[in-house]
Amino acid sequence: MTIPHDSIHCQNCRTVNPSQQELCTKCGTRLMIVVTPRVHSYEDQILIDAHSEFLIERVSSLENKLMRVVTQMERLVEVMYKQAQASSTGHELVEALFTTLADSGVLDMEIMRKHWRPPSSNTEEAKEREIESLKADAEENSRREKEQFEDDQPKVGRRN
């Protein structure tokens, strides 16, 4: 609730009354008129002006900082865009290399396709499939190594 500047409170019931009124509109008590010395009102105005200047400086400073953040964000977006373009180009170059190696017979494309991820496979499902594939390959390699180790061990206790 805002109280008008040209009002006075009743000292008895605290009702807000117009400053020209002699008696309270609610309880009828004679209102005491409070006069503020001119010196205080002048000092208050100086404080308000100083506070306003401080707030203007503060807002200007915040605007300046905000503009710097916006500029940095724009630069970051540009860098990310360039990175995405470079990544796409790099991916295409690697695919061209794989194709060339496969055509020359140096590389088996089926094995590479099994492990190679296209750039659009950033979904959780694709990641889970990749993890499962890697686990299966690790288990297969472990099984092969175990068989190779057992085959390399001398046969103890066996008679031919």
Predicted local confidence at residue 68, as pLDDT? 92
Alpha carbon distance 131, 135 (integer Å): 6
Predicted local confidence at residue 55, as pLDDT? 82
Higher pLDDT, residue 145 or 28: 28
Summarised one tens digit per residue, pLDDT across range 96-121 is 888 888 888 887 877 777 776 655 54
Q: How far is residue 142 from each of residues 70, 85, 105, 115, measured CA to CA in Å? A: 53, 39, 27, 18
For residue 91, pLDDT beyond 60: yes
For residue 160, pLDDT beyond 50: no
Predicted local confidence at residue 1, as pLDDT? 47
Mean confidence (pLDDT) of the chain:
77
Q: How far is residue 4 from each of residues 18, 30, 116, measured CA to CA in Å? A: 9, 20, 75
First to last CA, the chain: 107
pTM: 0.35
Summarised one tens digit per residue, pLDDT across range 38-90 is 555 566 666 677 778 888 888 888 898 989 999 999 998 888 888 888 887 88
Alpha carbon distance 66, 78 (integer Å): 19
Tokens 């109280």 label which residue?
3
